[in-house]
Amino acid sequence: MNLPAEIEKQFIVVEHELPSHEQLREIATGIAQGDELPTDEEFSRVLDSAAGLTRYEAEGAFSLSIVRHGRLDPACIWDVKSQQLKKSGLVSIHRGTESFDHLGGLDNLKRFCLRAMRRQGEGTVGNRPRGVLLLSPPGCGKSQFAKALGNETGRPTVVLDVGALLGSLVGQSESNVRAALKLADAMAPCVLFCDEIEKALAGATSSGQTDSGVTARVFGSLLTWLNDHDSDVFFVGTCNDASKLPPEFARAERFDGVFFVDLPGRDQKDAIWGIYTRHYGLDTKQARPDDANWTGAEIKSCCRLASLLDVPLVQAAQNVVPVAVTAGDKIEGLRQWASGRCLSADRAGVYSRTEGASGSRVRRVVREPGVN
């Protein structure tokens, strides 16, 4: 608030935080009676579903759940909270059904995140997991992994769109980012997902000459939160072009790990083919097209088109142009940058270009004399 200078000394600023789990429990027990109260295990899910609501909103959600279902139902409270978050325009909740069973490969990344998030209760507050940064060419499963991680760990997936938080008024963008991150803290435990983060923060290094420093200040607020927050929020950021990210963004202690997701290898592609041929009701034994350097998204597109057009997979593949063809030089440059700098999403250890997921050697093309 902007108070006149003559009277601002007469006021005291009091931070009125969103209700904690203990306060939400008091509100719930004051509204629900007898059989309307859930068991202890169910009560924990009810409180998690109400985290991030104000006291007034929590009272309304609990009352609506009792009227509709005769008890405190987490699903009903999630619906109410989703509506409130949509009205705020700061963050949104992803309510999909993705799981790791629908995501082939990425074995090391899956093990790392699940182990870190399931062991967080054994550590201190300062030893909670921070999150991961995923770098890869388009279509390799980064976004699907982030959405499936919440379902695998029983946490809501909160989607943060940094570009949508930028406002037209002076100071509005910075205020929106702080409010969105504060709301994510109040909704802990959760997974905070920020997709295509390098595009949202593009121009941070030259922000002073282009937008009066707004992007730089937004970037600084996010960096400070990543480094200092002690809430149980697991941040998952995805990126397609590491050259656009400032070097301080990926330094140690902002993330638990920076992973490179390469194009799927032979075993991974076989698993992905099996997932999507079954999903679209196709014959799993039919001949498959040449899928060299295909991504998981291109395999899914081929299966979907085969089902949509009612044609074999080999014929449907004629409508698929791999990203390795349209942007092969960029993918190779990304691999070279990630080699030695990022962890491998498929196997334990640091990613190396010579151990790419495709398993093929880099061959030098020697042309005959006189051939351009």
CATH of residue 168: 3.40.50.300
Contacts 24+ apart (CB under 8 A), 226-230: 226/130, 226/131, 226/254, 226/255, 227/253, 227/254, 229/181, 229/185, 230/125, 230/126, 230/128
Residues 231 and 311 in one domain: no
Residue 201 has pLDDT above 80, yes or no: no
Residues 187 and 302 in one domain: no
Q: Residue 105 — pLDDT band, cuts 50, 70, 90?
A: confident
Whether the Cβ atoms of residue 358 and residue 262 lie closer than 8 Å to each other: yes
Whether the Cβ atoms of residue 162 and residue 320 lie closer than 8 Å to each other: no
Residue 145 has pLDDT above 50, yes or no: yes
Within a domain: residue 156? Answer: yes
Within a domain: residue 310? Answer: yes
| 287 class by beta-carbon count within 10 Å (0-12 exposed, 13-18 middle, 19+ buried) | exposed
Residue 317 has pLDDT above 70, yes or no: yes
Residue 372 has pLDDT above 70, yes or no: no
What the block records as the tokens of 372 is 């351009």
Write out pLDDT tens, residues 19-62. 888 899 999 988 888 878 888 778 888 888 888 888 998 999 99
**Average pLDDT value for residue range 101-117:** 87
| pLDDT at residue number 77 | 87
Within a domain: residue 337? Answer: no
Residues 36 and 184 in one domain: no
Residue 206 has pLDDT above 60, yes or no: no
Residues 178 and 303 in one domain: no
Within a domain: residue 176? Answer: yes
DSSP per residue over 192-206, as a string? EEE-SHHHHTTTSTT
| pLDDT at residue number 244 | 74
Alpha-carbon span 209 to 68, nearest angstrom: 55
Greatest alpha-carbon span in the chain: 89
Within a domain: residue 302? Answer: yes
End-to-end CA distance of the chain: 68
H/E stretch holding 227 reads helix 214-228
Q: Residue 368 — pLDDT band, cuts 50, 70, 90?
A: very low
Residue 125 has pLDDT above 60, yes or no: no
Q: Which of 51, 68, 88 is the last residue of a domain?
A: 88
**Average pLDDT value for residue range 171-191:** 82
Residues in the chain, overall count: 372
Residues 130 and 55 in one domain: no
Alpha-carbon span 56 to 219, nearest angstrom: 33
Residues 117 and 216 in one domain: yes
Within a domain: residue 336? Answer: no
Within a domain: residue 190? Answer: yes
Place of tokens 């009352």: 63
Residues 250 and 110 in one domain: yes
Enclosing domain of residue 307 = 266-326
Within a domain: residue 113? Answer: yes
Residue 209 has pLDDT above 80, yes or no: no
Alpha-carbon span 138 to 136, nearest angstrom: 6
| pLDDT at residue number 202 | 65
Closest by CA to 204, choosing from 191, 179, 185, 223, is 223
Number of domains observed in the structure of the chain? 3
Residue 242 has pLDDT above 80, yes or no: no
**Average pLDDT value for residue range 89-95:** 80
Provide the CA 69 distance to its chain's centre, in angstroms. Answer: 32
Alpha-carbon span 241 to 149, nearest angstrom: 23
Q: Residue 293 — pLDDT band, cuts 50, 70, 90?
A: confident
Residue 360 has pLDDT above 60, yes or no: no
Sign of the torsion angle spanned by Cα atoms 117, 123, 128, 132? negative
Residue 208 has pLDDT above 60, yes or no: no
| pLDDT at residue number 259 | 92
Residues 114 and 150 in one domain: yes
Residue 134 has pLDDT above 70, yes or no: yes
Place of tokens 């993705």: 98
Residues 115 and 251 in one domain: yes
Tell me whether the omega of the peptide bond preceding residue 264 falls within 30 degrees of 0, making it cis: no
Residues 226 and 272 in one domain: no
